[in-house]
């Protein structure tokens, strides 16, 4: 994955995210990938081969975690599938993050506006 502004590899949010992923079975990992990238499968060339879904620029776009202060910590994660980006607010605990990710990947469908 690619590290983004307002989030570092050593932040609790990033560590918690990867803990949540490690706990998932393969079906839930595929759902998370579908949620974040628009595809439930990793390209044959691996994550480095992820492409944006834009028809204007289909250049490689790395999977990106974007930890942001602009979202309420009560919000679900937001996916930017054109950019293979997952926006995460500063959740207060691992358990809250786990629950929000679970809701996002299991109970959301299609495009949603808040």
Q: Any catalytic annotation for residue 82?
A: yes
* Residue 110, CB-side half-sphere exposure with 13 Å CA sphere: 0
Q: Which of 24, 42, 82, 96 is catalytic?
A: 82
The terminus-to-terminus CA distance of the chain in angstroms comes to 27
Enzyme catalytic residues: 82
């Amino acid at each position: 994955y690619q590290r983004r502004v307002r989030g570092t590899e050593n932040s609790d949010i990033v560590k918690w995210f990867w803990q949540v992923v490690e706990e998932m079975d393969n079906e839930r990992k595929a759902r998370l990938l579908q949620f974040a990238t628009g595809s439930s499968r990793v390209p044959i060339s691996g994550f480095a081969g992820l492409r944006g879904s834009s028809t204007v620029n289909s250049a490689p776009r790395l999977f990106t975690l974007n930890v942001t202060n602009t979202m309420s910590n009560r919000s679900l994660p937001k996916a930017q599938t054109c950019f293979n980006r997952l926006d995460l607010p500063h959740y207060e605990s691992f358990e809250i993050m786990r629950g929000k990710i679970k809701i996002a990947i299991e109970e959301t469908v299609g495009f949603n506006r808040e």
